């Protein structure tokens, strides 16, 4: 929402517009941000169009970061990110939820802890990238499942999105999306089978 005013100030009343810039610590940098887009679906694995669009954007010269929180099997992790087309950085968790069935995870505390730590490491990497201003687009695939599993805190995600610095869009995907995040979105797309 943009609020504007048609008030004009006379030159005789300069104290209204006089800004003291001697104390630089009070000056706040305002970031120019793209939109928050949410893609929701009733089932997992329904986002190939987003992956396709990220490849196209990278080929057109935009710097794109694609994070897949719950996909795995390739043992990437933050340290082994894949670079595609020179502009797309693709990162998956080094030890992920999708590598095992849920019963195996629940019955093995060490495995459960390893998956949580790996996903949380990926989230910390994302937070830095969302605030760095170095990417034109960031895609957080299945981040809502990580929230549902209580690996990532919803309020931490909201705070990070509110303080992001990115010229382009942030795209979030998932199935069960918290209402707070739906209210933050500039665009919500529901994908149907």
pLDDT, tens digit (0-9, with 9 covering 90-100), for 71-102: 766 667 777 788 877 899 999 887 777 777 88
Q: How confident is the model at residue 26 (pLDDT cuts 50, 70, 90)?
A: very low
The pTM assigned to this predicted structure is: 0.76
Residue ranges of domains in the chain, CATH in brackets: 32-184 (3.40.50.300)
**What b/e string do you get for 132-156 counting C-beta neighbours within 10 Å, with b at 16 or more?**
eeebbbbbbbbbbbbbbbebbeeee
Indicate whether 19 pLDDT > 50: no
Cβ-proximal residues to 71 (8 Å cutoff; 6+ apart), any chain: 92, 93, 96, 98, 141, 142
What is the SS3 assignment for 141? strand
Instruction: State in Å, rounded, how far the first CA of the chain is from the last one.
Output: 34
Element (DSSP H or E) covering residue 38: strand 36-41
The residues pairing with 191 across neighbouring beta strands, listed in sequence order, are: 41
- Contact (Cβ atoms closer than 8 angstroms) between residue 178 and residue 144: yes
Average pLDDT over residues 35-54: 82
Task: Name the 3-class secondary structure at 189.
Answer: strand
Q: How far is the C-alpha of 60 from the C-alpha of 70, rounded, in Å? A: 27
Mean pLDDT of the chain: 79
In degrees, rounded to 5, the angle at the alpha carbon of residue 41 between the alpha carbons of residues 158 and 123 is: 35
User: Each residue of 155-178: pLDDT tens digit?
Assistant: 999 999 999 988 889 999 988 899
């Amino acid at each position: 929402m943009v609020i504007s005013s048609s008030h004009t100030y006379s030159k005789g009343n300069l104290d209204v517009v006089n800004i003291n810039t001697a104390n630089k610590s009070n000056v706040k940098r305002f970031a120019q941000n793209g939109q928050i887009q949410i893609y929701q679906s009733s089932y997992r694995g329904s986002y190939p169009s987003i992956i396709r669009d990220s490849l196209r954007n990278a080929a057109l010269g935009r710097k794109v970061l694609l994070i897949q929180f719950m996909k795995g099997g390739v043992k990437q992790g933050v340290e082994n990110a894949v670079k595609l087309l020179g502009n797309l950085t693709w990162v998956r968790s080094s030890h992920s939820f999708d590598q095992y069935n849920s019963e195996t995870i629940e019955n093995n505390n060490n495995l459960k802890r390893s998956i949580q730590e790996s996903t949380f490491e990926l989230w910390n990497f994302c937070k830095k990238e969302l605030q760095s201003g170095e990417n034109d687009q960031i895609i957080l695939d299945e981040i809502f499942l990580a929230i549902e599993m209580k690996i990532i805190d919803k309020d931490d995600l909201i705070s990070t999105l509110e303080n992001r610095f990115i010229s382009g869009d942030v795209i979030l995907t998932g199935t069960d999306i918290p209402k707070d995040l739906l209210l933050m979105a500039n665009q919500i797309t529901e994908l149907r089978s």
